[in-house]
C-alpha cells in the first residue's frame, strides 16, 4: 500500500467521523475492561459507542463547533466512550417517551391538581 492510498483512506475516515467512532469505541473497551464487565459486554458496548461516535460527528449542527476546535471532537469522543452506550441510549429513549406524552392531546388535561 503506497502513501497516497493510505492518506486517502485516513482522509475519508476522518471526513466521515470513522476515526472519532473508533476512538469512542476504544475508550468504551478500556472502560469495560476497567470495570470488569466481561469481554462480550465490553465488546458490544464498544461497538455501540463506535456507532454512536460516528453518527454524532455527522450531525450538521456540530460542524460549527468542531471544525474550528478539532480538540473538542477528541474530547467528545472520549466522553462518549466513558459514558457508555447504555446511559446514552436510555437518556435518548426517556427523552422521546416524555416528548410523546407531551404531544398527546389526550393527556393534556389529566392529572391536574384541583
SS (H, E, C) 32-100: HHHCCCCHHHHHHHHHHHHHHHHHHCCCHHHHHHHCCCHHHHHHHHHHHHHHCHHHHHHHHHHHHHHHH
Q: How far is CA 98 from the centre of its chain?
A: 21
* Residue 64 to residue 79: CA distance in whole angstroms: 19
The domain limits of the chain are: 3-84
* pTM of the model as a whole: 0.67
pLDDT digits over 80-98, tens only?
888 888 888 888 889 988 8
pLDDT digits over 36-88, tens only?
888 888 888 888 888 888 888 777 777 777 777 778 878 888 888 888 888 88
* Residue 100 to residue 114: CA distance in whole angstroms: 25
56 in Cβ contact with 17 (< 8 Å): yes
Amino acid at each position: 500500500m503506497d502513501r497516497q492510498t493510505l492518506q486517502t483512506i485516513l482522509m475519508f475516515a476522518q471526513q466521515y467521523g470513522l476515526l472519532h467512532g473508533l476512538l469512542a469505541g476504544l475508550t468504551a473497551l478500556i472502560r469495560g475492561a476497567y470495570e470488569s464487565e466481561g469481554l462480550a459486554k465490553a465488546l458490544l458496548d464498544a461497538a455501540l459507542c463506535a456507532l454512536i461516535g460516528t453518527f454524532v460527528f455527522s450531525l450538521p449542527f456540530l460542524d460549527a463547533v468542531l471544525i474550528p476546535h478539532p480538540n473538542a471532537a477528541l474530547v467528545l469522543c472520549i466522553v462518549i466512550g466513558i459514558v457508555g452506550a447504555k446511559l446514552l441510549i436510555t437518556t435518548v429513549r426517556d427523552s422521546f417517551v416524555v416528548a410523546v406524552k407531551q404531544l398527546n392531546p389526550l393527556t393534556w388535561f389529566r392529572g391536574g391538581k384541583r
